[in-house]
Protein backbone atom coordinates (compact mmCIF):
# COMPACT_ATOMS: atom_id res chain seq x y z
CA UNK A 1 0.00 0.00 0.00
CA UNK A 2 1.17 3.54 -0.72
CA UNK A 3 0.98 6.32 1.85
CA UNK A 4 0.78 9.82 0.40
CA UNK A 5 2.62 12.62 2.18
CA UNK A 6 0.71 15.86 1.82
CA UNK A 7 1.39 17.95 4.93
CA UNK A 8 2.65 15.60 7.66
CA UNK A 9 3.11 11.94 8.49
CA UNK A 10 2.14 10.43 11.83
CA UNK A 11 4.21 7.86 13.67
CA UNK A 12 1.80 5.12 12.64
CA UNK A 13 2.40 6.06 8.99
CA UNK A 14 6.14 5.74 9.58
CA UNK A 15 5.62 2.29 11.12
CA UNK A 16 3.60 1.15 8.13
CA UNK A 17 6.32 2.31 5.76
CA UNK A 18 8.92 0.64 7.96
CA UNK A 19 6.94 -2.58 7.59
CA UNK A 20 6.89 -2.46 3.79
CA UNK A 21 4.38 0.14 2.61
CA UNK A 22 5.65 2.66 0.08
CA UNK A 23 5.56 6.46 0.23
CA UNK A 24 4.59 9.08 -2.33
CA UNK A 25 4.44 12.87 -2.19
CA UNK A 26 1.42 14.95 -3.09
CA UNK A 27 1.76 17.65 -5.72
CA UNK A 28 1.74 20.28 -2.98
CA UNK A 29 4.62 18.56 -1.20
CA UNK A 30 6.65 18.39 -4.41
CA UNK A 31 6.03 22.09 -4.94
CA UNK A 32 7.32 22.90 -1.47
CA UNK A 33 10.48 20.88 -2.12
CA UNK A 34 11.04 22.57 -5.49
CA UNK A 35 10.52 26.04 -4.01
CA UNK A 36 13.03 25.41 -1.21
CA UNK A 37 15.56 24.10 -3.74
CA UNK A 38 15.23 27.29 -5.80
CA UNK A 39 15.70 29.37 -2.64
CA UNK A 40 19.04 27.65 -1.99
CA UNK A 41 20.06 28.21 -5.60
CA UNK A 42 19.34 31.91 -5.13
CA UNK A 43 21.35 32.03 -1.90
CA UNK A 44 24.28 30.52 -3.78
CA UNK A 45 23.92 33.06 -6.60
CA UNK A 46 23.79 36.07 -4.29
CA UNK A 47 26.54 34.85 -1.97
CA UNK A 48 24.58 35.60 1.22
CA UNK A 49 26.41 33.86 4.05
CA UNK A 50 24.42 30.80 5.07
CA UNK A 51 25.50 28.03 7.44
CA UNK A 52 26.29 24.81 5.60
CA UNK A 53 25.50 26.37 2.21
CA UNK A 54 28.64 28.45 1.78
CA UNK A 55 30.30 27.95 5.16
CA UNK A 56 31.81 25.01 6.97
CA UNK A 57 29.84 23.21 9.65
CA UNK A 58 30.07 22.95 13.43
CA UNK A 59 33.03 24.90 14.75
CA UNK A 60 33.89 25.81 11.13
CA UNK A 61 30.66 27.76 10.68
CA UNK A 62 32.55 31.03 10.17
CA UNK A 63 34.80 29.57 7.46
CA UNK A 64 33.51 30.71 4.06
CA UNK A 65 33.52 28.15 1.25
CA UNK A 66 33.75 29.54 -2.30
CA UNK A 67 31.09 28.67 -4.84
CA UNK A 68 33.30 26.25 -6.75
CA UNK A 69 33.84 24.19 -3.60
CA UNK A 70 30.25 24.00 -2.34
CA UNK A 71 29.41 20.71 -4.05
CA UNK A 72 32.63 19.22 -2.73
CA UNK A 73 31.67 20.50 0.74
CA UNK A 74 28.37 18.62 0.53
CA UNK A 75 30.09 15.39 -0.51
CA UNK A 76 32.78 15.77 2.13
CA UNK A 77 30.21 16.31 4.86
CA UNK A 78 28.62 12.97 4.03
CA UNK A 79 31.94 11.13 3.83
CA UNK A 80 33.34 12.60 7.05
CA UNK A 81 30.15 12.13 9.04
CA UNK A 82 29.74 8.46 8.03
CA UNK A 83 31.67 7.16 11.03
CA UNK A 84 29.15 4.90 12.76
CA UNK A 85 30.24 1.63 14.35
CA UNK A 86 28.69 -1.57 15.63
CA UNK A 87 25.97 -3.87 14.37
CA UNK A 88 23.74 -2.69 11.53
CA UNK A 89 20.27 -1.39 12.23
CA UNK A 90 17.46 -3.72 11.22
CA UNK A 91 15.85 -3.06 7.80
CA UNK A 92 12.62 -1.96 9.49
CA UNK A 93 14.52 0.67 11.44
CA UNK A 94 16.39 1.98 8.40
CA UNK A 95 13.15 2.26 6.43
CA UNK A 96 11.60 4.22 9.30
CA UNK A 97 14.54 6.65 9.30
CA UNK A 98 14.32 7.15 5.52
CA UNK A 99 10.57 7.77 5.71
CA UNK A 100 11.07 10.32 8.47
CA UNK A 101 13.82 12.08 6.53
CA UNK A 102 11.58 12.34 3.46
CA UNK A 103 8.83 13.78 5.65
CA UNK A 104 11.23 16.42 6.96
CA UNK A 105 12.35 17.40 3.45
CA UNK A 106 8.69 17.50 2.43
CA UNK A 107 8.03 20.45 4.72
CA UNK A 108 9.88 22.56 2.14
CA UNK A 109 12.47 24.18 4.39
CA UNK A 110 15.53 22.00 3.71
CA UNK A 111 16.47 23.07 0.22
CA UNK A 112 17.43 19.72 -1.30
CA UNK A 113 16.63 19.04 -4.92
CA UNK A 114 13.64 16.82 -5.75
CA UNK A 115 16.09 14.19 -7.05
CA UNK A 116 17.22 13.52 -3.48
CA UNK A 117 13.67 12.60 -2.52
CA UNK A 118 13.14 10.55 -5.68
CA UNK A 119 16.16 8.43 -4.84
CA UNK A 120 15.05 7.93 -1.24
CA UNK A 121 11.53 7.06 -2.37
CA UNK A 122 13.04 4.49 -4.74
CA UNK A 123 14.93 2.95 -1.82
CA UNK A 124 11.61 2.40 -0.04
CA UNK A 125 9.80 1.14 -3.12
CA UNK A 126 12.52 -1.33 -4.12
CA UNK A 127 13.52 -2.26 -0.55
CA UNK A 128 17.07 -0.97 -0.86
CA UNK A 129 18.38 -0.86 2.71
CA UNK A 130 21.61 1.10 3.30
CA UNK A 131 23.94 -0.48 5.84
CA UNK A 132 23.63 1.81 8.85
CA UNK A 133 25.75 1.08 11.94
CA UNK A 134 23.75 1.35 15.16
CA UNK A 135 26.27 3.28 17.26
CA UNK A 136 28.19 6.51 17.04
CA UNK A 137 25.57 9.22 17.04
CA UNK A 138 25.65 11.75 19.86
CA UNK A 139 22.65 13.47 18.34
CA UNK A 140 21.84 12.42 14.76
CA UNK A 141 24.52 12.82 12.02
CA UNK A 142 26.22 9.42 11.68
CA UNK A 143 23.17 7.25 10.98
CA UNK A 144 21.87 9.66 8.35
CA UNK A 145 25.30 9.92 6.75
CA UNK A 146 25.49 6.17 6.14
CA UNK A 147 22.18 6.32 4.28
CA UNK A 148 23.43 9.30 2.28
CA UNK A 149 26.56 7.36 1.25
CA UNK A 150 24.49 5.10 -0.96
CA UNK A 151 23.02 8.12 -2.79
CA UNK A 152 26.60 8.92 -3.81
CA UNK A 153 27.35 5.37 -4.88
CA UNK A 154 29.47 4.88 -1.77
CA UNK A 155 28.96 2.67 1.27
CA UNK A 156 26.96 -0.53 1.04
CA UNK A 157 23.38 -1.71 1.07
CA UNK A 158 21.10 -4.73 0.93
CA UNK A 159 18.76 -5.02 -2.00
CA UNK A 160 16.10 -7.69 -1.60
CA UNK A 161 18.31 -9.11 1.16
CA UNK A 162 21.47 -9.30 -0.99
CA UNK A 163 24.52 -7.32 0.16
CA UNK A 164 26.26 -5.12 -2.38
CA UNK A 165 28.15 -1.85 -2.75
CA UNK A 166 26.27 1.42 -2.86
CA UNK A 167 27.22 1.86 -6.51
CA UNK A 168 25.88 -1.60 -7.43
CA UNK A 169 22.69 -0.95 -5.46
CA UNK A 170 22.07 2.25 -7.44
CA UNK A 171 22.78 0.45 -10.70
CA UNK A 172 20.25 -2.24 -9.79
CA UNK A 173 17.72 0.55 -9.30
CA UNK A 174 18.70 2.12 -12.67
CA UNK A 175 20.01 5.17 -10.86
CA UNK A 176 23.31 7.01 -11.27
CA UNK A 177 25.31 8.24 -8.26
CA UNK A 178 24.23 11.73 -7.27
CA UNK A 179 26.49 14.77 -7.33
CA UNK A 180 25.31 16.84 -4.39
CA UNK A 181 24.62 20.54 -4.60
CA UNK A 182 25.02 23.28 -2.01
CA UNK A 183 23.55 22.47 1.41
CA UNK A 184 22.46 18.99 0.37
CA UNK A 185 25.22 17.24 2.28
CA UNK A 186 24.29 19.06 5.46
CA UNK A 187 20.57 18.42 4.96
CA UNK A 188 21.22 14.72 4.45
CA UNK A 189 23.05 14.30 7.75
CA UNK A 190 21.07 16.86 9.73
CA UNK A 191 17.74 16.77 11.54
CA UNK A 192 16.14 14.24 13.86
CA UNK A 193 15.06 11.66 11.28
CA UNK A 194 17.10 8.94 12.95
CA UNK A 195 15.76 9.39 16.48
CA UNK A 196 12.21 10.01 15.23
CA UNK A 197 12.19 6.96 12.97
CA UNK A 198 13.60 4.70 15.67
CA UNK A 199 11.15 6.11 18.21
CA UNK A 200 8.25 5.39 15.86
CA UNK A 201 9.30 1.74 15.61
CA UNK A 202 9.69 1.62 19.38
CA UNK A 203 6.18 3.02 19.88
CA UNK A 204 4.66 0.26 17.74
CA UNK A 205 6.51 -2.40 19.69
CA UNK A 206 5.67 -0.76 23.01
CA UNK A 207 1.97 -0.62 22.16
CA UNK A 208 1.84 -4.36 21.51
CA UNK A 209 3.94 -5.05 24.60
CA UNK A 210 1.52 -3.09 26.77
CA UNK A 211 -1.42 -5.11 25.43
CA UNK A 212 0.38 -8.37 26.15
CA UNK A 213 1.43 -7.18 29.60
CA UNK A 214 -2.22 -6.72 30.59
CA UNK A 215 -3.20 -10.09 29.13
CA UNK A 216 -0.34 -11.98 30.79
CA UNK A 217 -1.01 -10.30 34.14
CA UNK A 218 -4.62 -11.47 33.91
CA UNK A 219 -3.48 -15.06 33.30
CA UNK A 220 -1.20 -14.89 36.32
CA UNK A 221 -3.84 -13.23 38.52
CA UNK A 222 -6.20 -16.08 37.75
CA UNK A 223 -3.55 -18.72 38.45
CA UNK A 224 -2.78 -17.31 41.91
CA UNK A 225 -6.38 -16.52 42.82
CA UNK A 226 -6.18 -12.74 42.67
CA UNK A 227 -8.65 -10.63 44.62
CA UNK A 228 -10.64 -8.79 41.97
CA UNK A 229 -12.26 -6.32 44.35
CA UNK A 230 -9.15 -4.15 43.98
CA UNK A 231 -9.97 -3.77 40.28
CA UNK A 232 -13.60 -2.68 40.57
CA UNK A 233 -14.32 0.27 38.31
CA UNK A 234 -15.59 2.39 41.20
CA UNK A 235 -12.47 1.67 43.23
CA UNK A 236 -10.03 2.45 40.41
CA UNK A 237 -11.94 5.65 39.56
CA UNK A 238 -10.78 7.07 42.89
CA UNK A 239 -7.34 7.54 41.31
CA UNK A 240 -7.47 9.81 38.28
CA UNK A 241 -5.70 8.22 35.31
CA UNK A 242 -7.03 7.15 31.95
CA UNK A 243 -4.39 4.43 31.86
CA UNK A 244 -5.50 2.96 35.19
CA UNK A 245 -9.14 2.88 34.12
CA UNK A 246 -8.28 1.25 30.78
CA UNK A 247 -6.09 -1.45 32.31
CA UNK A 248 -8.65 -2.19 35.03
CA UNK A 249 -11.37 -2.62 32.41
CA UNK A 250 -9.13 -4.91 30.37
CA UNK A 251 -8.35 -7.12 33.37
CA UNK A 252 -12.05 -7.38 34.23
CA UNK A 253 -12.87 -8.44 30.67
CA UNK A 254 -10.16 -11.11 30.60
CA UNK A 255 -11.24 -12.55 33.96
CA UNK A 256 -15.02 -12.28 33.59
CA UNK A 257 -16.73 -15.53 34.51
CA UNK A 258 -13.63 -17.23 35.94
CA UNK A 259 -14.45 -20.03 38.34
CA UNK A 260 -10.85 -19.89 39.60
CA UNK A 261 -11.25 -16.24 40.56
CA UNK A 262 -14.62 -16.92 42.16
CA UNK A 263 -13.23 -19.81 44.21
CA UNK A 264 -10.46 -17.53 45.55
CA UNK A 265 -12.79 -14.66 46.49
CA UNK A 266 -12.07 -13.48 50.04
CA UNK A 267 -9.16 -15.87 50.64
CA UNK A 268 -6.87 -12.90 51.35
CA UNK A 269 -7.54 -9.40 52.60
CA UNK A 270 -5.30 -8.08 49.82
CA UNK A 271 -2.79 -9.36 47.30
CA UNK A 272 0.89 -8.52 47.03
CA UNK A 273 1.59 -5.30 45.20
CA UNK A 274 2.94 -7.01 42.08
CA UNK A 275 -0.63 -8.28 41.66
CA UNK A 276 -2.74 -5.56 43.25
CA UNK A 277 -1.06 -2.62 41.53
CA UNK A 278 -1.12 -3.95 37.96
CA UNK A 279 -3.57 -1.22 36.86
CA UNK A 280 -1.40 1.43 38.48
CA UNK A 281 1.94 0.41 36.93
CA UNK A 282 0.55 -0.67 33.58
CA UNK A 283 -1.77 2.35 33.53
CA UNK A 284 1.07 4.75 34.28
CA UNK A 285 3.02 3.24 31.38
CA UNK A 286 0.04 3.75 29.09
CA UNK A 287 -0.19 7.39 30.14
CA UNK A 288 3.53 7.84 29.40
CA UNK A 289 3.03 6.04 26.08
CA UNK A 290 0.28 8.50 25.08
CA UNK A 291 2.59 11.41 25.86
CA UNK A 292 5.45 9.87 23.87
CA UNK A 293 3.14 9.38 20.87
CA UNK A 294 2.23 13.07 20.96
CA UNK A 295 5.91 14.08 21.14
CA UNK A 296 6.88 11.91 18.17
CA UNK A 297 3.96 13.20 16.09
CA UNK A 298 4.99 16.78 16.90
CA UNK A 299 8.52 15.94 15.79
CA UNK A 300 7.20 14.63 12.47
CA UNK A 301 5.16 17.80 12.02
CA UNK A 302 8.23 19.98 12.63
CA UNK A 303 11.14 21.18 10.54
CA UNK A 304 14.15 19.61 12.24
CA UNK A 305 17.23 20.59 10.27
CA UNK A 306 19.52 23.58 10.49
CA UNK A 307 19.50 25.98 8.77
CA UNK A 308 15.93 26.35 7.57
CA UNK A 309 15.22 28.16 4.32
CA UNK A 310 12.05 30.13 3.70
CA UNK A 311 10.71 33.08 1.76
CA UNK A 312 10.86 33.00 -2.02
CA UNK A 313 13.63 32.68 -4.59
CA UNK A 314 13.39 36.44 -5.09
CA UNK A 315 13.49 37.12 -1.34
CA UNK A 316 15.32 34.17 0.21
CA UNK A 317 15.57 33.79 3.96
CA UNK A 318 18.00 31.44 5.68
CA UNK A 319 17.64 30.93 9.43
CA UNK A 320 20.34 29.37 11.54
CA UNK A 321 18.63 27.76 14.53
CA UNK A 322 18.71 24.66 16.72
CA UNK A 323 15.75 22.65 15.43
CA UNK A 324 17.99 19.60 14.94
CA UNK A 325 18.29 19.37 18.73
CA UNK A 326 15.44 17.34 20.21
CA UNK A 327 15.34 17.41 24.03
CA UNK A 328 11.62 16.56 24.09
CA UNK A 329 12.18 13.47 21.95
CA UNK A 330 15.05 12.23 24.12
CA UNK A 331 13.06 12.82 27.29
CA UNK A 332 10.02 11.02 25.86
CA UNK A 333 12.07 7.96 24.88
CA UNK A 334 13.78 7.95 28.28
CA UNK A 335 10.44 8.19 30.09
CA UNK A 336 8.85 5.39 28.11
CA UNK A 337 11.95 3.24 28.67
CA UNK A 338 11.62 3.73 32.43
CA UNK A 339 7.91 2.89 32.31
CA UNK A 340 8.45 -0.32 30.33
CA UNK A 341 11.39 -1.35 32.51
CA UNK A 342 9.10 -1.02 35.52
CA UNK A 343 6.40 -3.15 33.88
CA UNK A 344 8.99 -5.81 33.08
CA UNK A 345 10.32 -5.71 36.66
CA UNK A 346 6.78 -6.25 37.96
CA UNK A 347 6.36 -9.15 35.51
CA UNK A 348 9.47 -10.82 36.92
CA UNK A 349 8.06 -10.43 40.45
CA UNK A 350 4.75 -12.02 39.41
CA UNK A 351 6.66 -14.83 37.74
CA UNK A 352 8.55 -15.42 40.98
CA UNK A 353 5.25 -15.73 42.82
CA UNK A 354 4.18 -18.43 40.36
CA UNK A 355 7.31 -20.55 40.89
CA UNK A 356 7.86 -19.91 44.62
CA UNK A 357 6.18 -22.69 46.64
CA UNK A 358 6.17 -20.47 49.75
CA UNK A 359 3.47 -18.27 48.23
CA UNK A 360 2.08 -19.94 45.12
CA UNK A 361 0.14 -22.95 46.39
CA UNK A 362 1.38 -24.63 43.21
CA UNK A 363 4.02 -27.35 42.66
CA UNK A 364 7.48 -26.01 43.51
CA UNK A 365 8.94 -24.16 40.51
CA UNK A 366 6.03 -25.48 38.44
CA UNK A 367 7.95 -28.72 38.02
CA UNK A 368 6.08 -31.89 37.10
CA UNK A 369 8.30 -33.88 39.46
CA UNK A 370 9.93 -31.47 41.90
CA UNK A 371 13.34 -32.71 42.94
CA UNK A 372 14.33 -34.62 39.85
CA UNK A 373 12.92 -31.72 37.82
CA UNK A 374 13.80 -28.06 38.25
CA UNK A 375 10.91 -26.70 36.22
CA UNK A 376 11.01 -22.93 35.87
CA UNK A 377 13.56 -22.33 38.65
CA UNK A 378 16.29 -21.03 36.35
CA UNK A 379 13.89 -19.33 33.96
CA UNK A 380 13.16 -16.95 36.83
CA UNK A 381 16.92 -16.29 37.09
CA UNK A 382 16.92 -15.26 33.43
CA UNK A 383 13.97 -12.93 33.97
CA UNK A 384 15.71 -11.39 36.99
CA UNK A 385 18.93 -10.87 35.02
CA UNK A 386 17.08 -9.16 32.18
CA UNK A 387 15.16 -7.00 34.64
CA UNK A 388 18.44 -5.92 36.22
CA UNK A 389 19.85 -5.07 32.80
CA UNK A 390 16.78 -2.95 32.11
CA UNK A 391 17.37 -1.08 35.35
CA UNK A 392 20.82 -0.10 34.08
CA UNK A 393 19.49 0.77 30.63
CA UNK A 394 16.77 2.98 32.14
CA UNK A 395 19.31 5.59 33.22
CA UNK A 396 18.33 8.65 31.14
CA UNK A 397 20.35 9.22 27.99
CA UNK A 398 18.99 12.76 27.76
CA UNK A 399 21.21 13.72 30.71
CA UNK A 400 24.38 12.34 29.15
CA UNK A 401 27.19 14.82 28.67
CA UNK A 402 29.55 15.28 25.78
CA UNK A 403 31.16 18.33 24.25
CA UNK A 404 31.72 18.19 20.51
CA UNK A 405 32.99 20.33 17.66
CA UNK A 406 35.46 22.43 19.67
CA UNK A 407 32.81 23.68 22.13
CA UNK A 408 30.46 24.84 19.35
CA UNK A 409 28.15 21.94 20.17
CA UNK A 410 28.37 22.16 23.94
CA UNK A 411 24.92 20.72 24.69
CA UNK A 412 23.63 17.39 23.41
CA UNK A 413 20.11 16.03 23.93
CA UNK A 414 20.97 12.44 22.86
CA UNK A 415 17.57 11.49 21.35
CA UNK A 416 19.08 8.75 19.17
CA UNK A 417 20.80 7.14 22.15
CA UNK A 418 17.53 7.34 24.08
CA UNK A 419 15.61 5.70 21.21
CA UNK A 420 18.19 2.91 20.82
CA UNK A 421 18.12 2.34 24.57
CA UNK A 422 14.32 2.18 24.52
CA UNK A 423 14.47 -0.50 21.83
CA UNK A 424 16.90 -2.52 23.98
CA UNK A 425 14.60 -2.24 26.99
CA UNK A 426 11.72 -3.49 24.84
CA UNK A 427 13.86 -6.45 23.70
CA UNK A 428 14.40 -7.47 27.32
CA UNK A 429 10.82 -6.77 28.36
CA UNK A 430 9.50 -9.04 25.62
CA UNK A 431 11.60 -11.90 26.96
CA UNK A 432 10.60 -11.25 30.58
CA UNK A 433 6.90 -11.20 29.73
CA UNK A 434 7.35 -14.30 27.57
CA UNK A 435 8.80 -16.12 30.58
CA UNK A 436 5.86 -15.05 32.76
CA UNK A 437 3.46 -16.15 30.02
CA UNK A 438 5.06 -19.59 29.89
CA UNK A 439 4.99 -19.91 33.69
CA UNK A 440 1.36 -18.78 33.91
CA UNK A 441 0.36 -21.31 31.26
CA UNK A 442 2.23 -24.04 33.17
CA UNK A 443 0.42 -23.04 36.38
CA UNK A 444 -2.92 -23.30 34.60
CA UNK A 445 -2.02 -26.79 33.41
CA UNK A 446 -1.86 -27.85 37.06
CA UNK A 447 -5.12 -26.03 37.84
CA UNK A 448 -7.16 -27.33 34.91
CA UNK A 449 -8.87 -30.02 36.97
CA UNK A 450 -9.84 -27.73 39.86
CA UNK A 451 -11.98 -25.04 38.22
CA UNK A 452 -12.62 -23.43 34.87
CA UNK A 453 -10.68 -20.51 33.46
CA UNK A 454 -12.41 -17.42 32.14
CA UNK A 455 -13.17 -17.39 28.43
CA UNK A 456 -10.65 -14.56 27.90
CA UNK A 457 -7.78 -16.24 29.69
CA UNK A 458 -8.58 -19.58 28.08
CA UNK A 459 -7.91 -17.94 24.72
CA UNK A 460 -4.56 -16.81 26.07
CA UNK A 461 -3.76 -20.31 27.29
CA UNK A 462 -4.63 -21.76 23.90
CA UNK A 463 -2.47 -19.16 22.16
CA UNK A 464 0.66 -19.91 24.20
CA UNK A 465 0.13 -23.66 24.03
CA UNK A 466 -0.01 -23.35 20.23
CA UNK A 467 3.68 -22.38 20.26
CA UNK A 468 5.02 -23.85 23.53
CA UNK A 469 3.94 -27.22 24.99
CA UNK A 470 3.81 -28.10 28.69
CA UNK A 471 7.32 -28.27 30.16
CA UNK A 472 8.58 -31.43 31.85
CA UNK A 473 12.36 -30.82 31.95
CA UNK A 474 12.47 -32.69 28.67
CA UNK A 475 14.15 -30.00 26.54
CA UNK A 476 16.11 -26.76 26.91
CA UNK A 477 13.80 -23.91 27.90
CA UNK A 478 15.71 -21.41 25.79
CA UNK A 479 13.97 -22.29 22.53
CA UNK A 480 10.57 -22.14 24.24
CA UNK A 481 11.42 -18.62 25.38
CA UNK A 482 12.20 -17.63 21.80
CA UNK A 483 8.88 -19.02 20.57
CA UNK A 484 6.93 -17.26 23.32
CA UNK A 485 8.79 -14.03 22.70
CA UNK A 486 8.04 -14.25 18.96
CA UNK A 487 4.34 -14.67 19.81
CA UNK A 488 4.44 -11.47 21.88
CA UNK A 489 6.49 -9.51 19.37
CA UNK A 490 4.65 -10.41 16.18
CA UNK A 491 1.00 -11.04 17.10
CA UNK A 492 -1.54 -9.16 19.18
CA UNK A 493 -2.94 -10.97 22.23
CA UNK A 494 -6.32 -12.67 21.89
CA UNK A 495 -9.11 -10.20 22.58
CA UNK A 496 -10.81 -10.67 25.94
Whether pLDDT at 52 is above 60 = yes
Q: What band does 296 get if pLDDT is binned at 50, 70 and 90?
A: very high
Mean pLDDT on 342-366 = 95
Q: What band does 147 get if pLDDT is binned at 50, 70 and 90?
A: very high
- In the listed set 148, 170, 190, which residue is the last one of a domain according to the structure? 190
Nearest partner of 346 among 420, 427, 393, 276, judged by Cα: 276
Whether pLDDT at 275 is above 70 = yes
User: Are both 18 and 152 inside the same structural domain?
Assistant: yes
- Model pLDDT, residue 178: 96
User: Are both 174 and 205 inside the same structural domain?
Assistant: no
User: Are both 90 and 153 inside the same structural domain?
Assistant: yes
- Model pLDDT, residue 399: 86
* Residue 49 vs residue 191, higher pLDDT: 191
When mean pLDDT is compared across 64-78, 84-98, 133-147, 244-258, the lowest value belongs to 64-78
- Model pLDDT, residue 58: 58
Cβ burial 47-86 (10 Å sphere, 16+ → b, else e): eeebbbbbbbbeebeeeebeeeebeebbbbbbeebbebee
Longest Cα pair distance anywhere in the chain, in angstroms? Answer: 85
- How many domains in the chain? 2
User: Are both 281 and 370 inside the same structural domain?
Assistant: yes
Compute the C-alpha angle 88/332/82, nearest 5°. Answer: 30
- Model pLDDT, residue 479: 97
User: Are both 277 and 208 inside the same structural domain?
Assistant: yes
User: Are both 129 and 260 inside the same structural domain?
Assistant: no
- Model pLDDT, residue 48: 73
| Phi and psi torsions of 163, nearest 5° | -80, 140
307 lies in a domain?
yes
235 lies in a domain?
yes
Whether pLDDT at 457 is above 60 = yes
Mean pLDDT on 430-441 = 98
The Cα–Cα gap between 306 and 85 comes to 25
User: Are both 206 and 306 inside the same structural domain?
Assistant: yes
Whether pLDDT at 220 is above 70 = yes
The Cα–Cα gap between 306 and 388 comes to 39
| Cα R_g (the chain), whole angstroms | 26
The Cα–Cα gap between 336 and 481 comes to 24
CATH number of the domain encompassing residue 272:
1.20.200.10
User: Are both 180 and 140 inside the same structural domain?
Assistant: yes
Supply the angle between the helices 142-151 and 193-223 in degrees, to the nearest 10.
120
179 lies in a domain?
yes
Q: Using an 8 Å Cβ cutoff, are 219 and 460 in contact?
A: yes
- Model pLDDT, residue 149: 97
DSSP 121-166: HHHHHHTEEE--EEE--SSSTHHHHHHHHHHTT-SEEEETTEEEEH
- In the listed set 190, 221, 239, which residue is the last one of a domain according to the structure? 190
163 lies in a domain?
yes
Express the helix, strand and coil content of the chain in percent, nearest 5 each.
60, 10, 30
Q: What band does 65 get if pLDDT is binned at 50, 70 and 90?
A: low
Mean pLDDT on 372-380 = 93
The Cα–Cα gap between 227 and 265 comes to 6
- Model pLDDT, residue 371: 76
496 lies in a domain?
no
Whether pLDDT at 376 is above 80 = yes
User: Are both 169 and 217 inside the same structural domain?
Assistant: no
Q: Using an 8 Å Cβ cutoff, are 25 and 5 in contact?
A: yes
462 lies in a domain?
yes
- Model pLDDT, residue 409: 64
Q: What band does 44 get if pLDDT is binned at 50, 70 and 90?
A: confident
DSSP 261-288: HHHHTTSSSS--HHHHTHHHHHHHHHHH
When mean pLDDT is compared across 109-113, 138-142, 304-308, the lowest value belongs to 138-142
CATH number of the domain encompassing residue 55:
1.10.275.10
pLDDT in tens, 393-419: 999 988 877 666 565 566 577 899 999
Nearest partner of 258 among 16, 456, 30, judged by Cα: 456
- Model pLDDT, residue 212: 98
- Model pLDDT, residue 324: 85
Instruction: Name the percent of the chain lying above pLDDT 70.
Output: 93
User: Are both 138 and 227 inside the same structural domain?
Assistant: no
- Model pLDDT, residue 244: 97
User: Are both 185 and 208 inside the same structural domain?
Assistant: no
Q: What band does 72 get if pLDDT is binned at 50, 70 and 90?
A: confident
23 lies in a domain?
yes
User: Are both 277 and 390 inside the same structural domain?
Assistant: yes
495 lies in a domain?
no
Mean pLDDT on 162-179 = 97
The Cα–Cα gap between 483 and 215 comes to 17
- In the listed set 190, 219, 236, which residue is the last one of a domain according to the structure? 190
Range of the domain at 169: 2-190
Amino acid sequence: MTIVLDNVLGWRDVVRIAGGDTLALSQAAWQRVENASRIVERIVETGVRAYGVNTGVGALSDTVVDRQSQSRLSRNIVLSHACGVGDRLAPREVRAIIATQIANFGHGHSGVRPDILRYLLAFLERDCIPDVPSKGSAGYLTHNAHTALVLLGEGSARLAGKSMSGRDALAALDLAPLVLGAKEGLSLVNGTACATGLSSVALARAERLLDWADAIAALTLEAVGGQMAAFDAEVLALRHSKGIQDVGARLRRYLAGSDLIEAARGKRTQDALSLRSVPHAHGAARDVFDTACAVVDRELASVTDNPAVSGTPDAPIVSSEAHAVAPALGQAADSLGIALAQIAAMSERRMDRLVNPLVSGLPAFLASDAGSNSGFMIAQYTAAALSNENRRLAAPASLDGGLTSALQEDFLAHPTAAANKLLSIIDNAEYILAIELMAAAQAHDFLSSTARRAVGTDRLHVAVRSVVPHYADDRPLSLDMEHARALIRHTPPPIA
